[in-house]
Amino acid sequence: MGKVHVFDHPLIQHKLSMMRNKDTGSKDFRELLEEIAMLMVYEVTRDLPTEEVEVETPICKAKTRMLSGKAIGLVPILRAGLGMVDAVMTLVPNAKVGHIGLYRDPETLQPVPYYCKLPADANERELLVLDPMLATGGSAAAGIQLLKDHGCHHIRLINLIAAPQGVERVQQQHPDVDIYIAAMDEKLNDHAYIVPGLGDAGDRLFGTK
């Protein structure tokens, strides 16, 4: 069973509360999402392997450590996951980015795929799937399945807010995937929006409502 890591760092919780506020506009919402994504990825990458290297400082030669192991790939789920990419790239500038387009049909609540473009070597990378919201879990589970269909196996899911149902679904369908979240909310409402949540992440990011 994949682990669920909840980041309750005070800075993350403070910024997330500001994002939840319905009066927070798109500009601030975007900036806060970037700041939280950066703080989260710092922790998500804590267990990446490193290897000893030799560098020559202005003072002397020294044995220090640098990242080793698999290269990183980022996979934002469109649209809202896009809001996390730049921030993560700031910390992991050599990451390659794949895009998965999925929207949730408002009637059936089923994820509808419309786009998938992955780095050619995605299956050799440690992939971080990015999406602020994990509601029913349909989009995340389908996105992860798409990655597995392309031969990818090292996958971590990073969300800001999750509902218990979404976590359960991803854990059931993808027990090999760890989930990293900033908050586990209470439930879903009748339209499968997270309660209390923050509303529609894509619309708030891009000002489409």
Chain positions contacting ligand PRP, by CB under 6 A: 77-80, 103-104, 111, 131-140, 166, 192, 200-202
Q: Which of 104, 125, 169, 204 is an active site residue? A: 104
66: closest CA among 58, 74, 77, 55? 55
Which ranges of the chain does DSSP label H, i.e. alpha helix?
A: 10-20, 26-44, 82-91, 138-149, 164-173, 201-206
Q: Which stretch binds ligand URA (CB under 6 A): 20-28, 57-65, 67-75, 198-206?
A: 198-206
Cβ distance to ligand PRP smaller for residue 72 or 134: 134
Q: With respect to ligand PRP, which residue has the nearer C-beta, 5 or 99?
A: 99
Q: Cα separation of 105 and 45, whole Å?
A: 33
200 counts as catalytic: yes
Tokens standing for residue 13 = 């919780």
**Single-letter amino acid code for the residue at 151:** G
Specify whether 104 is catalytic. Answer: yes
Q: Return the residue of 133, 152, 179, 205 that touches ligand URA, per CB under 6 A.
A: 133
What does 131 interact with, of ligand URA, ligand PRP, none (CB < 5 to 8 A by kind)? ligand PRP
Instruction: State in angstroms the smallest separation of the CB of 61 from ligand PRP.
Output: 48
CA distance 104 to 106: 6
The encoded tokens of residue 9 equal 């760092």
Give the integer Cα–Cα distance in Å for 92 and 161: 23
Comparing CB distances to ligand URA, the nearer of 75 and 77 is 77
Q: Does 194 bind ligand URA (CB under 6 A)?
A: yes
- Catalytic residues, by residue number, are 104, 108, 200, 203
